[in-house]
């Protein structure tokens, strides 16, 4: 899987924001994020599992945290979140999602069957605007 994107942003994203790709797997249920940019820095709560580099794309810190009794694609549930955060933000590029999944597996983070993947902007307050001239996720 891969994603291609380009965005411009203005304003502020509040106390927390994430710009990148997001999805879920089932069996096991996992919520995942690949963050390429943010307004005020991506939150990093949870356990740091490691760091990896994808040639031509950049270096990412990897975190895992548990969500207990939270909304999910299967109703209220407990599930892990897997998060890759790019160490140097970027506003356009190609994301090799499969390489993130392989890195997570190497850190002992087990995903299930892919349920969904999409380009996502998530903001915790603030105001502003994000435009995506390009935003796509493809299975390769």
Using only C-alpha atoms, what is the Rg of the chain? 14
Place of tokens 């207990």: 68
Distance of CA 9 to the CA centre of its chain: 18
Which residues are catalytic, by number?
31, 122
Residue 121, CB-side half-sphere exposure with 13 Å CA sphere: 18
* Residue 34: other Cβ atoms inside 10 A: 24
The answer to whether the CB of 18 falls within 8 A of the CB of 133 is: no
């Amino acid at each position: 899987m891969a994603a291609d994107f380009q965005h411009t942003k203005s304003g502020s994203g509040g106390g927390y924001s994430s710009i990148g790709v997001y999805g879920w797997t089932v069996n096991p249920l996992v919520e995942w994020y690949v963050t390429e940019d943010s307004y005020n820095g991506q939150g990093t709560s949870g356990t740091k599992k490691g760091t990896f580099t994808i040639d031509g794309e950049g270096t990412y810190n990897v975190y895992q945290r548990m969500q207990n009794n939270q909304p999910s694609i299967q109703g209220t549930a407990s599930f892990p979140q897997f998060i890759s955060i790019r160490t140097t933000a970027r506003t356009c590029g190609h994301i090799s999602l499969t390489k993130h999944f392989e890195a997570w597996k190497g850190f002992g983070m087990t995903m299930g069957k892919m349920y969904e993947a999409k380009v996502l902007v998530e903001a915790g307050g603030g105001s502003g605007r994000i435009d995506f001239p390009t935003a796509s996720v493809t299975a390769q």
